[in-house]
A and B are shown apart, each in its own frame.
Chain A
Amino acid sequence: MPDLYLVLASTLFVIGLTGFLIRRNALIVFMSTELMLNAANLVFVSMSHVHGVLDGQVAAFFVMVVAAAEVVIGLSLIVTIFRARRSTSVDNEILLKG
């Protein structure tokens, strides 16, 4: 039974990772990151259930808080960049080069 949770989590993680690596649109990349975080959350929660302790659930809450904060900053950055450049492609080298 826990194996299935892990398989699901791995699948979600790999989907997220693949999306992160191959998509150009910043919004999709962003969503892929969220997907990977949630895959990790799923592992935390299921393991918490399996072991019967709450540590994993606490960790999952922390991840959610971090993810929420990330969304706030990340989305506002993307919006700003989109306004300035009319594009959200992450392949634009200048974005990360000084």
Chain B
Amino acid sequence: MTTLETIAPVAATGSFAYAWLLIALPLASAVILQAGGRLTDRWGHLLAVLTPVASFGLGLVYFLGLMGRPEAERAVDASVYTWIAAGGWHFEVGLLLDPLSILFVLLITGVGSLIHVYSLGYMAHDPNRRRFFAYLNLFVAAMLILVLADDYLVLFVGWEGVGLASYLLISFWQERPRAAAAGKKAFIVHRIGDLGLLMGIFTMLAMFGSSSFAAVDEGAAGLAPGWACFLGFMLLLGACGKSAQVPLQTWLLDAMEGPTPVSALIHAATMVTAGVYLVVRSGAVYDQAPAAQLAVAIVGTVTLLAGAWIGCAKDDIKKVLAGSTMSQIGYMMLAAGIGPAGYAFAIFHLLTHGFFKADMFLGAGSVMHGTGDDVNMRHYGALAKVMPITFVTFAAGYLAIIGVPFFSGAYSKDHIIEAAFEHNAVLGSLALLGAGVTAFYMTRLMCLTFFGQKRWREGIRPHESPAAMWVPLVVLAVGAVIGGMALNAWISRWLVPIGAEAPEHATWLPDFSNPLSWAVLAVVAVGVVIGWLLFGRRPAPDEAPAAVSPLVLAGRNDLFFDAAYDAALVRPGLALATGVAYFDDHGVDRAVESLGGAALATGRRLRRLQNGHVRSYGLAMLIGVVAVGVVLALLQLV
């Protein structure tokens, strides 16, 4: 086990001191849009599009600034202000710009800007457009806090911020009960993961007296193995919640109730990768905790297969893509669980996935836009001709995700599978199997959506989407095609300062000398052929067949996780709540009510005294005076 070699950040100078603007711009626009109310209805969405673009420009400046520095100085800590200074506790809000965080900044603001532009078209006729853009900006700001923080506690602020934005956006169409329920579900499942992250932060505070990255990196080496392991598992729990990994994955499929740009930005390209970021960022901890590291790899492998399984069985195009997102993040987690050898590949796959998955989600949104918001793939068919731009861009994402050589996904996924084989043959074989299944379900999606015969519903005339929607698609598709070639040779080297190991050889060309690459290609080809044989060659029914194998049935029901949680947690919880409510109604309430009833009855009796007869009052007074006199007289006697 080698110790991680991370570089110490240097203090921010010059333009780096203004790094807070990255976050402040989208945050300000979110505030203006919310506080400005209807005043901003006319121009608010344009402002909301400008601020992520501005942040992207600024991020680019910082990126080039980091590039221009020698490797040992490529981490800049820009202190913003002192958050808490009480007794022995001291928390600074600082922004860490290093090779890892700057890549995230570019991904978030870059893909984020494109999705904002896309939303201009997609949400053009929504009565709550302003609110939608305010939430999107809030998300971008929170996500930037998450990745720029130099302290786990500040990271947690962003972590919760993206959770909030995700909740608000999943249930954006709050008038739909399903969307409202999905938002709540995501929020509650996130809480479980957040508990893990919080416990991790508490452990850091107890062990190191600080939760800053620097303190944790430094202290981790001296940590007792038991505590290191605990910390690793708690951080993994946090990552599972945010990144929809088994066993906390159930919220992601329901999250597809949100508007499609949200699914693309939050539930595919950025927020759900926060767990991978957390694991890679906590490399120093995982270095000391081999058991936790293995758990990360296993969770990743299980999720990559589970997500692919679900993706094979769903008919809802967004849910297929959601299953696929789970699966691809599983790959990233697997890579992150391999250790320093895998970090660069995890981040590489994260970036390429950000492009091709956002591309495909937006493509799915474009398809839905053209077919009257229908999400059922069995109602599509033969859309390639009527939606040529959507088809071509979607196809680019398709070729990238299944890993066709020269497309971006091929580079990053091959690396992960290769590293997994070197690490552990079982994990490697399962990752290889996952690649084949990915090819199968994506081929199924392509065949059902763009090829075959028309199964359009009556009155639906599919048409190409407006330019605001297809321009971002084209940009993302270009990224999905060339991203791998452009980054392959560079990214491992670039991430060395944050603890990644650089492989010996990597060029812009796919590695054809490696027999494993050919094996991956063969498995992918088998997946594509099976997918085509089942769904492309023969006409697909426009209703989902009822008689299916148990495998498909399990996939359609999200592997019965929801049912299991329902039986194991939701029902007992409901029963407990019902019991408590019953006790409240019949125990506490009755006690309180009978007390009140007694007071009322006493009052009713006493009221008879107050009869309005002056003479009876006089008599009462007389009796009272006599009584007082008697008492006084008796007291005199005593």
Contacts and interface: CB of A to CB of B under 8 A. Distances in A.
A91 interface: yes
A8 B612 CA distance: 33
Contact of B612 (A17, A29, A93): A93
Nearest to A17: B622
Contacts of A91: 613-615
A96 B613 CA distance: 7
Q: Kindly name the residue among A20, A29, A95 whose own CB sees the greatest number of chain B CB atoms within 10 A.
A: A20
A96 B614 contact: yes
A22 interface: yes
- Main secondary structure on chain B at its contact with chain A? helix
B28 to A, nearest CB: 60
B603 interface: no
A80 B282 CA distance: 91
Contacts of B611: 93, 97
A21 interface: yes
B222 interface: no
A39 to B, nearest CB: 14
A3 B617 CA distance: 31
A94 interface: yes
A91 B617 CA distance: 11
A20 B612 contact: no
Interface in A6-40: 17, 20-22, 24, 29
B612 A94 contact: yes
Contact of B613 (A17, A20, A22, A93): A93
A93 B612 CA distance: 5
Interface string B568-585: 000000000000000000
A20 B617 CA distance: 11
A4 to B, nearest CB: 22
Nearest to A32: B618
A95 B618 contact: no
A90 interface: yes
B86 interface: no
Interface string A60-98: 000000000000000000000000000000110111110
B1 interface: no
Nearest to B617: A96
Q: Kindly name the residue among B611, B617, B618 whose own CB sees the greatest number of chain A CB atoms within 10 A.
A: B618
B432 to A, nearest CB: 89
B619 interface: yes
Nearest to B616: A21
A21 B622 contact: yes
Q: Kindly name the residue among B610, B614, B622 whose own CB sees the greatest number of chain A CB atoms within 10 A.
A: B614
Contacts of B618: 20-21
Nearest to A91: B613
Interface size class of B (residues with CB under 8 A): 10 to 19
A96 B616 CA distance: 12
- Main secondary structure on chain A at its contact with chain B? helix
B524 to A, nearest CB: 90
A96 B610 CA distance: 9
B612 A96 contact: yes
B614 A97 contact: no
B612 to A, nearest CB: 4
B612 A97 contact: yes
Nearest to A92: B612
A91 B618 CA distance: 12
B615 A95 contact: no
Nearest to B610: A97
A21 B610 CA distance: 16
Interface string B601-628: 0000000001111110111001000000
Contacts of B617: 96
Contacts of A20: 615, 618
A95 B614 CA distance: 9
A17 B622 CA distance: 9
Contacts of B614: 29, 90-91, 95-96
Nearest to A94: B612
Contacts of A21: 615, 618-619, 622
B117 to A, nearest CB: 71
A14 to B, nearest CB: 11
A95 to B, nearest CB: 7
Contacts of B615: 20-22, 24, 29, 90-91
A94 B611 CA distance: 9
Interface string B10-22: 0000000000000
A17 B612 CA distance: 19
Nearest to A96: B612
Contacts of A24: 615
Contacts of A97: 610-612
A88 to B, nearest CB: 11
A57 B158 CA distance: 87
- Top 8 nearest A-B pairs (CB, nearest first) are A93-B612, A97-B612, A96-B612, A90-B614, A20-B618, A21-B618, A21-B615, A21-B619
9 contacts: A20-B615, A20-B618, A21-B618, A29-B614, A91-B614, A93-B611, A95-B612, A96-B612, A97-B610
Given A17-B622, A94-B612, 16 more contacts: A20-B618, A21-B622, A22-B615, A24-B615, A29-B614, A90-B613, A90-B614, A91-B613, A91-B614, A91-B615, A93-B613, A95-B612, A96-B614, A96-B617, A97-B610, A97-B612
